[in-house]
Amino acid sequence: MRDTGDYLFTSESVSEGHPDKVADRISDTVLDAFLEADPQSRVACETLVTTNRIVLAGEVRGPASVTRDLLIERTREAVRDIGYDQEGFSWRHADVSYYLHAQSADIAVGVDAAGNKDEGAGDQGIMFGYATRETDSLMPAPIHYSHAILRRLAEIRHAANGSSGLQPDAKSQVTLRYVNGKPVGVTSVVLSTQHDEATSQERIREILAPVLTEVLPDGWEVPADELYVNPTGKFVIGGPDGDCGLTGRKIIVDTYGGAAPHGGGAFSGKDPTKVDRSAAYACRYLAKNVVAAGLADRCTLQISYAIGVSKPLSVYVDLHGTGHDVDETKLERVLRELVNLSPRGIREHLRLNRPIYAQTAAYGHFGRTPDPATDSFTWEKTDLVDDLRGAFAR
């Protein structure tokens, strides 16, 4: 996104019942089952979902207590929790195929700590983090509001226990107008939501209207002719029965809605030795703390790794010209001093070796509120603010 000028920018979100998100949820449920049994488990689980069929595949290393039957049971529970008990996709009747096998010994040798060798990165790659003052969550406004609309509709659907007419599959898209690089209003909203055969489009609009009023800032009314609700006119067949879903296909929805770079790696189903996930969380954590500390209004941070190597190959910070008398080169050094950015260091600092991942699978991995009860979303904490201000004499 441009730092100055007037323009329109759009981001989309998808609900927990979108086929790809169903796959993400199942993959993270498998991960949580292993971490619950052994925090040092290794998991790379991919899931495919289609009409009454679920396929689990990938590589794992963990205790024998995490059995095939247990994971199939947890898979069905995840689908039930989302809300699928339809003819074409049901938690009760879907066939679950199991193709998880042992992790490659070659990868294990490179990743595991041994002797004087620290734990190495699970793969090579580049990871990005981003934060901006556009919203209280320090997330880009378009993806923030896209998530919020779908999250609120899901709450309505679950609370109604089947009487709302809404079904699990849904997508939203929000376009905002920016003036001099800052969001000032909404120009259009697109919502496609699966519904019962008997539920009219007018009824869906009635449900949506108060949600938009609740979610969007005061004065940000959607023009009547720019509110597109189920533009095809009908959305009864949905979810995995309407479209095949795969783990890791919604990486822009999972992150910043296209407002910031993405390294290309997906998150769900991967244990935190995989830097695709853990280092992306660390990048968000650092970028958010930089902005929360008042050092800049926007921050993009990149880290890179090589498989089997513990230290990051590079740390790069871009404040997009919004820094407040902050030298970016010094900031890069300070951030490396504050947090050990090795895979082990990140896991320990953010306490990632816990069964906390199923809840991340929908409505974004970032911009979420840390829950003190479960100590989840630790990468959203701003506990480095005082240290950062001290390092720059603020």
**Binding-site positions:** 18, 20, 46, 59, 103, 169-171, 234-235, 243, 249-250, 266, 270, 274
In 216-360, which residue ranges form alpha helices assigned H by DSSP? 239-242, 251-254, 275-292, 328-338, 343-350
Q: Where are any strands of DSSP class E within 62-165?
A: 95-102, 125-132
Assigned token pair, 1: 């996104």
Q: Please give the helix or strand (H or E) that residue 8 lies within, else none.
A: strand 7-14
> CA-to-CA distance for 355 and 198, rounded, in angstroms?
39
Return binding residues for ATP. 18, 169-171, 234-235, 243, 249-250, 266, 270
Q: How far are the Cα atoms of 157, 211, 217, 265, 305 from residue 160, in angstroms, in the given order?
A: 5, 15, 26, 36, 47
Count CB-CB contacts under 10 A for residue 80.
Answer: 13
Return binding residues for L-methionine. 59, 103, 243, 274
Nearest C-alpha neighbor of 31 from the set 352, 350, 390, 329: 352
Q: How far are the Cα atoms of 10, 139, 256, 369, 370 from residue 373, in angstroms, in the given order?
A: 34, 23, 26, 12, 9
> CA-to-CA distance for 104 and 226, rounded, in angstroms?
51
Residues present in the chain in total: 394
What is the radius of gyration, based on Cα positions, of the chain? 21
> CA-to-CA distance for 13 and 18, rounded, in angstroms?
10
In contact, 350 and 160? CB cutoff 8 Å: no
Count CB-CB contacts under 10 A for residue 203.
Answer: 15
Return binding residues for Mg(2+). 20
Backbone φ and ψ for 385, nearest 5 degrees, come out as -60, -50
Q: Is 376 helix (H, G, I), strand (E, B) or coil?
A: strand
> CA-to-CA distance for 145 and 160, rounded, in angstroms?
23
Return binding residues for K(+). 46
Q: How far are the Cα atoms of 30, 60, 89 from residue 152, in angstroms, in the given order?
A: 26, 35, 23
Assigned token pair, 102: 């042992």
